[in-house]
Amino acid sequence: MERDAMKAAAALAAVDEVTSGMVLGLGTGSTAAHAVREIGERLAAGRIEDVAGIPTSLATEELARELGIPLLEPGAAAIDLAIDGADEIAPDLALTKGGGGALLREKVIAASAARFVVISDDSKMVAALGATFDIPLEVAQFGLGITATALRGLGSPQLRTAGEAPVVTDNGNYIIDLAVDPIRDAAAFDAELHMIPGVLATGLFVGIAAAAYVAGSSGIRRIEAGAPA
């Protein structure tokens, strides 16, 4: 099974958790887009009804509107279930996210949902976060040099660019990708990053995911938080 087919299979399995009447957090990125499309198809077919979504990016908002998914503003209603992808998944379901640049909005929605599930293929499974993917940080434009200098004490920061221009998030901020050694204590490292003025959100999602749907060559594996490894 090709990687994109694995992502689609994981998304379909996660969307099976969606029931009529739910308010959903709609993730961002290629894997999450599979879930958004599946939700739209099930709504159109009448398999689910009275579902509304809260998107985590302008791109997801546009996709959801194209699919006819009713949308709500954040805070308009409690979120029953959020579904999103990840760049790394540790054994305890701590995540690295933000490759698509929507990490602040993704974290707001994931952390506020009654249940947050992550979808991926098995290439995202790692023994420790930071092993295969730099840690994305959404940072303020003001004082960028000061923030970057402070981050050098924790790793190697690199401003994310598109061509020669900095990437600007939907919130008007920049992204720094921080190369680090594999992280032993993700919660402690996340707290340390948040102590640096200018860091608005980190791509470390610790203690947020309730379950992961991970697709591999042998099928879909569902991993519940707190379950034995």
| CB proximity list for 174: less than 8 A, separation 6 or greater | 138, 139, 140, 141, 144, 159, 160, 166, 167, 168
Which strands, in side-by-side order, build the sheet including 156-159? 156-159, 174-179, 135-139, 199-202
Residue of 38, 61, 88, 106 with catalytic role: 106
The DSSP secondary structure of 84-135, one letter per residue, reads EE-SEE-TT--EE--TTS-HHHHHHHHHHSS-EEEEEEGGGB-SSTTSSS-E
Structure tokens at 66: 């194209």
| Whole-number Å distance between alpha carbons of 205 and 112 | 12
Our answer to whether residue 2 is catalytic in this structure is no
Alpha helices in the chain (DSSP H): 3-15, 30-44, 58-67, 103-112, 144-151, 186-194
Q: Residue 156 CB: number of other CB atoms within 10 A? A: 11
- Active-site residue list: 106
